[in-house]
Amino acid sequence: MFDSGVGGLTVLHECLVAMPAEDFIYLGDSGRFPYGPRTPDEIREFAGQIASHLLALDVKLLVVACNSATAAALPWLQERLDAAIIGAVFPESEVAVQITRNRRVGVMATEATIASDSYRRALLDMDAGIDVFSQPCPQLAAMIQNGDVSSPEMIEAVKSYAAPLKTTRVDTVILGCTHYPLVTPMLQRIFGSSVTLVNPAREIAQLAAATLWRKGIQNRAGREGKYSFLCTGDVESFIKVGARFLQMPFENVSKVEISGLERMGVA
């Protein structure tokens, strides 16, 4: 499993709860965070390097726990790698289509994810009559990555990003970045109880569990799975912030040098 930083740990948390018998390796590319302002070509390059590194560790399923990387690189990775690979966008879009009552769906995400138009395409593929309202949130992931989930600056940022969607009368909002579940209570208060927020972490974890089951490669029930971490940035900072995201014991963290990743990639 990989993410541009610590946001994907919200996915790992859901996976550890849903699949306690499985072993997990999480790589946070915190040394090159954020992905949101980067070009699709850059993100694909990073995703290819990380995927190659993780697949060399003999994993049975690769989870792209980053919406920007999913939008820019998931089909590209799936076409080029002989491995089971899943990501974001599709699972939460499917849930949004199922639960919206007025067929007006909002999407909050990074600039790269919004620019890719991946959510709009996914939603319209499932229901051509849905109205999709996209809201880029340029600073939100970085603020959360830095550990800010409740400051006055965060409150104002969340309000400013939510305001345009509130005027559109959406009844469902996809949190299109795995960092965003950390501010769900704040978002829910701003949107009100009549708006349903779709948590990408929960939906990706359910897709991962279903994929293992369909392929018959899940571990036997009853065993205790293990989990470990890799990061490309400062290890101490990764542990400090990551522990808030994971909400579980946080240890077994090793650093991966970016220069080593750059020697890998996907043809």
CATH number of 90-200: 3.40.50.1860
The answer on pLDDT for 176 being more than 90 is yes
The answer on pLDDT for 228 being more than 90 is yes
The residue type at 3 = D
Q: With bands split at pLDDT 50, 70 and 90, how would you rate the model's confidence at 247?
A: confident
- How far is residue 177 CA from its own chain's centroid? 5
For residue range 46-98, list pLDDT tens digits in order: 999 999 999 999 999 999 999 999 999 999 999 999 999 999 999 999 999 99
Contact 112, 72 (CB under 8 A): yes
Alpha carbon of 200 to those of 57, 151, 164: distances in Å?
A: 26, 24, 21
pLDDT reported for residue 147: 87
Q: With bands split at pLDDT 50, 70 and 90, how would you rate the model's confidence at 207?
A: very high
Mean pLDDT of the region 101-115: 97
The residue type at 80 = R
Mean pLDDT of the region 254-258: 97
The answer on pLDDT for 265 being more than 90 is no
CATH number of 2-87+202-262: 3.40.50.1860
First to last CA, the chain: 21
Mean pLDDT of the region 110-117: 95
Mean pLDDT of the region 240-265: 91
Mean pLDDT of the region 183-193: 96
Mean pLDDT of the region 29-47: 96
* Dist CA 235 CA 253 (whole Å): 7
The answer on pLDDT for 13 being more than 70 is yes
Which stretch of 70-74, 148-152, 170-174, 224-228 has the lowest confidence by average pLDDT? 148-152
- Show which residues are catalytic: 66, 177
The residue type at 181 = P
* Dist CA 62 CA 25 (whole Å): 10
Question: For the chain, what are the domain ranges?
Answer: 2-87+202-262, 90-200
The answer on pLDDT for 267 being more than 80 is no
Alpha carbon of 111 to those of 7, 34, 158: distances in Å?
A: 16, 11, 15
Which stretch of 11-25, 49-63, 239-253 has the lowest confidence by average pLDDT? 239-253
